[in-house]
Every structure is written in structure tokens, then in C-alpha cells.
Amino acid sequence: MEKLKKEKIKSILSQFFLKVDEAEFYFVKSLKQFSDLILVRSKKIDSKKLSEVNLLLKKELANPAIELLSWIDTVGGIIPKKNVYKIPFFSTDEIKEINPWRVCPIGEHWVRRHDRQKKHLEDVDGHCRKNKSKKDQLKGDEIDLISNHDLFKNPKLKTTPNNLGFEKVGKNGNQFDNFINGWVAYWNDVFKTDPPLHPNFVKALMATESGFDPKSIAANKNKKIGFARGLMQVTERTQRQLAGDEKELKDHLVILDDEEVWDPNKNICAGVRWLFRKREILKSQINRDPTWKEVLMGYKGKVGSKTNETKKVQKN
């Protein structure tokens, strides 16, 4: 089969299938080297999708004989296994899915700096690198890039301009609103919870956690948890869990080093991501979708608490 025709088939298949389909496509041998039959090997593809793909393949290739068949239904039956090429000509792993927020396709992350030589680090031009763990991950460089994106700067939900009384102590309670709005919009888009998280909840949480002080630090009696740092009081243990070190997260990791965790933009990104994780944990504990007020109390380790601090968060 000529190369141009192969590429056209790949293009059509890419329109219908996603990475999550975990599909491989094989040509079937014939006297002419390739027959008009293509086999798809996947447990996640139904007959309806096959019919839709076949209609487009026949139309675009102007070949009524070409047909995409299910491996499970045909190989070993109407098609002997020896007639199938051993190596797939296309796999859904090759499909580059685009996230409108990100520079890199899904399954890759942005790298601006990496170890070129053992003795020292050398800056190189930014590029995309595949995630070996197959988990989505955000690192410091890409967090900075996302925060300059139009989607980040123009979210639908925004915090209420309210200093929350911090002008009395010489602090500006509104100075981090743009970062709060942007990261709430980003993680809402990732997790698509109903109702979505409102940035006012994060602003109120930040007020009680750090008083809008990016240098805030608090010790913890439990040494495994470690110090809580920055605007969202991200603990050392939470930092490790967000990076996937303790297998806490199944996906959507946030990987920060000990210096980056103090940066307001990166700290808020990590804190809001952790808030969504706390929602998952609380949901499993109470067997229903928790309210965002309940999630905030879970973040603070005060679910069901009636302390003055709890009342302050709810009031804000």
C-alpha cells in the first residue's frame, strides 16, 4: 500500500479514536501484499463506531472494498492469524490529543531545563517530553506558561473584590485574585465537578490558612506531615503526594521542588489541586457529593468542626 494512502487512513482513524481506546490497527496480507481489510484490536470499541469509521474510509479513499473489522470477531475465524501482519501500522498511543490550556499534547509535559551533563545543569530551549508514568503532570515551568494563557486570564468565575478586613493589618487581600481565578478555572476544567469550585472559596481558605502571606510557615506535630508553607499552606507530605511519591494521586500530578513551593503562582496551583483531591477523599467517606464548604473543612482537617476558625471560613 502506497505511503500516501497509509497516511490518509491514519488521519481518518485519528478523527474517530482516542488514546483511551487503547487500540492497535493491523493490515491483512493478500497476494498484493496488502488487502483492503484492516483489523482493530481493542476492548473498548463498539460496532457503532466501526460502522461510522467504515463509511468515512470508503468515502475518503473512494474504495467500497476497504473495511475495518474487529480483531476479536474475525481473527482465528474468517481471517487466519498467519494472514495478519505482526506489527501494527498504527496505534492510538500515537495520537496527540490537545489540551487548550497546555503547550504540550496530553501525555507530555513541558521541559525548559534538564541535565545535559553530570557536573552541571545547562539551559536548553523548551520542549515537550513524554510522561513515562503515563500520568498527566505539571511542573514549575509549565505552570508559569499556563498562567500567561488567555484562558487563565479570562475565566468565567471570578473572586469578589473584597479585602476581607486585611487592610487593618496592612495586607492586600485581593493581590492574588488573578492566580486564584486562573487555577480554579483550570482545575474545574480538568475535573468538571458539579457544581464547580468557586474562587471565593479558595480566597476564604487562603485568608484563614496564611493571611495572604506567601512566606507563611507553620510546624506540625506530626513529623511525617512536615512544615506547611506558603499561601495555601502546602505541607511537605502534600508536596510529596502531589508529585506521586506516595501513590496518593492516580493522575494530574503537580511536581514542585522545595524552592518552587513558595512561589505564589505555583503554591496556589498545588493548593487548588489538593482541594480537588480532598473532595474525592471526603466523597468516599460520606458516600455522597460533598459541598465545597465541607471540602474546605476537609482541607483544614476540621470536617464537622464548630470552632471560631471554621465559622470564619464559612462566613468569608
Q: Are residue 176 and residue 64 in the same domain, yes or no?
A: no
Determine, yes or no, domain membership for 107: no
- CATH number, domain containing residue 21: 3.30.300
| DSSP SS3 for 253 | strand
Structural domain for 247, as ranges: 133-315
Q: Are residue 183 and residue 254 in the same domain, yes or no?
A: yes
Residue matched to cell numbers 489541586: 273
Residue where a domain terminates, one of 68, 94, 120: 94
pLDDT above 60: residue 246? yes
Cα–Cα distance measured from residue 44 to residue 303, given in angstroms and rounded to the nearest whole number? 40
pLDDT, tens digit, for every residue of 251-276?
Answer: 999 999 999 999 999 999 999 999 99
Determine, yes or no, domain membership for 53: yes
Q: Are residue 308 and residue 159 in the same domain, yes or no?
A: yes
Among the listed residues 85, 76, 35, 38, the one whose alpha carbon sits nearest the alpha carbon of residue 57: 38
Q: Are residue 52 and residue 176 in the same domain, yes or no?
A: no
Into how many domains does the chain fold? 2
Cα–Cα distance measured from residue 125 to residue 112, given in angstroms and rounded to the nearest whole number? 6
Q: b or e along 167-200 (b: 16 or more beta carbons within 10 Å of the residue's beta carbon)?
A: eeeebebbebbbbbbbbbbbbbeeeebeebbbbb
Q: Are residue 57 and residue 204 in the same domain, yes or no?
A: no
User: Looking at residue 130, what is its pLDDT?
Assistant: 83
pTM: 0.74
Residue where a domain terminates, one of 34, 64, 94: 94
Determine, yes or no, domain membership for 120: no
Determine, yes or no, domain membership for 236: yes
pLDDT, tens digit, for every residue of 141-154?
Answer: 999 999 999 999 99
Residue 197 DSSP code: P
pLDDT, tens digit, for every residue of 118-146?
Answer: 445 554 568 888 888 778 999 999 999 99
